Amino acid sequence: MQSKQYSVKVYETEIHDEKEFINFFDANHTLFKDHLLVIHGDLSSKIETYLNEKSLKYLHNVNLPKGRTRKALEEELQSEKVEQAVSQEIAQQELDKLSSRLQNNLTVMDEMIRSGRELNIAGDLLLLNRVNSGATINTTGTLIVTKVVEGAIRCHGNFMMLTASPKANIIFQGVEVDNKLLEDRLNRVELKNNEIIITPVLKKEINWA
């Protein structure tokens, strides 16, 4: 495929009155010989024949792209590149943090957390039992609870995994989580751009057959 690029001068105008328009072009049409006309408004047949007579090239009712200076374009490209690099770096750091934490500081518990108990965990916690009403759990890392939570949980990790817990009081990274959004399965709770994102992880029933 062959293609060529031209730079064209554009004259943009709007028709308000037929007579006024033709008078204006009668006086100035030689100036617009090398221009592309972009015309808005009512384009009557009279004007159309007039423009063809004068062999003027025109477009009707077309929105032109907003022009940008070369400098602005270059700056924009540059900042995009920097942003990409920064976000990649942050993602890598987060991943490193998560994997080192998961390997070094994971607590696994299989006991019921009864009312009145307060668990303060430095690192990640995998809890395979219930959290009863009146109990509190604080973790600096990721929190995964596989059974129902009826107490209060405060998690400062990268994410949480919880099942449906309609009576729970859940605060993730200082933001209260609406427990009605937790479906009846394991849900992943994350914070993205100051917004809580809840994604169901496992299907409710696993069909082994």
Partner 1 sequence: MGIVIAVISGKGGVGKTTATANLGLGIALNDKKCVLVDFDIGQRNLDMILGLENRVVYDMVQVMDGEASVKQALIKSKVNENLFFLAASQTKDKSVLDSEKVQKLVTELKEEFDFVILDAPAGIESGYEHTIEFADAAIVVVNPEVSSIRDADRAIGILDSKSHKVKNGEEVAKYLIINRIVADMVQSGEMLKSEDILEILSIKLLGKVPEDKGVIDASNQGKPVILDKKSIAGQAYGRIAARLCGQKIEMKDVEISDSGLFKRLAGIFK
User: How many angstroms separate the CA atoms of 148 and 59, rounded?
Assistant: 66
* Site residue total, partner 1 (CB under 8 A): 10
Chain centroid to Cα 60, Å, comes to 36
* Binding to partner 1, residues 29-88 (CB under 8 A): none
Closest to partner 1 by CB, 39 vs 145, is 145
Q: Is 112 in the site for partner 1 (CB under 8 A)?
A: yes
Q: Which stretch binds partner 1 (CB under 8 A): 16-24, 65-73, 111-119, 193-201?
A: 111-119
Closest to partner 1 by CB, 26 vs 118, is 118
User: Is residue 45 classed exposed, middle or buried when 0-12, 13-18 and 19+ CB atoms within 10 A define those classes?
Assistant: exposed
List the one residue from 29, 35, 40, 117 that touches partner 1 (CB under 8 A).
117
CB atoms within 10 A of CB 84: 10
Instruction: Give the sheet arrangement for strand 169-172, strand by strand.
Output: 118-121, 136-139, 152-155, 169-172, 175-177
User: Please, what is the angle between helix 18-28 and helix 45-53, to 10°?
Assistant: 10
Closest to partner 1 by CB, 101 vs 130, is 130
List the one residue from 130, 141, 162, 168 that touches partner 1 (CB under 8 A).
130
Q: Which stretch binds partner 1 (CB under 8 A): 6-14, 22-30, 132-140, 153-161?
A: 132-140
With beta carbons less than 8 A apart as the criterion, state whether 37 and 11 touch. yes
The residues that touch partner 1, with contacts defined as CB under 8 A, are 112, 114-117, 130, 132-134, 150
